[in-house]
Structure 1
Amino acid sequence: MDFKISKINHEDLDDLMEVNNLSFNIPWSKESFEAEINNKLAHYFVAHVDDKAIGFGGMWLIIDEGHITNIAVHPDYRGSSIGDSILKTMLDYCISKNITAITLEVRASNTIAQNLYTKHGFVTEGIRKKYYEDNSEDAILMWRRW
């Protein structure tokens, strides 16, 4: 499958809202995404097939550390290495910006995402008990350091 990854822009928002709403139990609002586009600490990358945004990944970079806020791929395109490519793009961007470590939280039940992060050098370093508001599920805290 041919897809391209680029920085987010306002034209992507409607497509990203669809991906967001299909991917998360507590999806972000369109206003939250608009705020992230204007946030100087936030960096978002979008996967496109033709002119449609079908996946995204976002992170905040603060001094020399990063925090992944979310990664999602439209259900129709999962299993096509798109999430893997988005994450790789994000990590390469971190390296180019001299980021020395990056962290994230992932649902304890989301083993597919945990396996993706492990594949890219993240290690589990803790648990945030009852982190998720919708069901009080624990979050696995993962880090990657260079």
Structure 2
Amino acid sequence: MLKRTIRLLNPSDLESVKSIENASFPEPWDFEIFEILASYRGRAIKANGARIYMYVLEEENDVTGYVVWEEAAREGHILNLAVQEDRRNSGRGKELLLFAIRKLKLKGMESCILECRDNNAIARGLYESIGMTESDHVDGYYGDQDAVIYRLDL
């Protein structure tokens, strides 16, 4: 079994992150977002005071997944979670998600939310498996697809 480490993003991770992002989402994030986060070593503060964190999952010097979240007004918001395609369905996504939730609890957040495409059964199953519940449905959130908003009280 490979040794797994979850650590803050750094600039040398960017190519792996780009590859995972592009393989994971029909509309990937603008790469500049990751470049900015990497330039701040995975930690940034938005103009409104919200803090953003990005951690990567590393296995034997290979980045195989990542999670990005925001902390604001006592609520955590998981912004992005992805795992390398050939490593999916192996517990890595859950490991990253639970890591983020532990960090949010330590920072005093009272709840955590995230959005998910309503047709993404695998992701929805993951979120529900850790106790997240559907709190809202947003028509057209992803342009041509609806979103389900999940929430977890911490």
- Using the size of structure 1 for normalisation, the TM-score is 0.93
| Matched position secondary structure for 2:90 | coil
What's 1:68 paired with?
78
What's 2:61 paired with?
51
| Matched position secondary structure for 2:37 | helix
What's 1:16 paired with?
17
- Residue type of the alignment partner of 1:8: L
Cα RMSD for the two superposed structures: 1.2
Q: C-alpha offsets along residues 22-76 of structure 1, whole Å, 9 cap, x if unaligned?
A: 0010111221112234422111111111111110011111131111111000111
What's 2:149 paired with?
141
1:100-139 pair list within 5 angstroms = 100-133=110-143, 136-139=144-147
- Residue type of the alignment partner of 1:141: I
What's 2:91 paired with?
81
Segments of structure 2 that go 5 or more residues without pairing to the other structure are 46-50
What's 2:32 paired with?
31
What's 2:48 paired with?
none
- Using the size of structure 2 for normalisation, the TM-score is 0.89
Q: How many residues matched?
A: 144
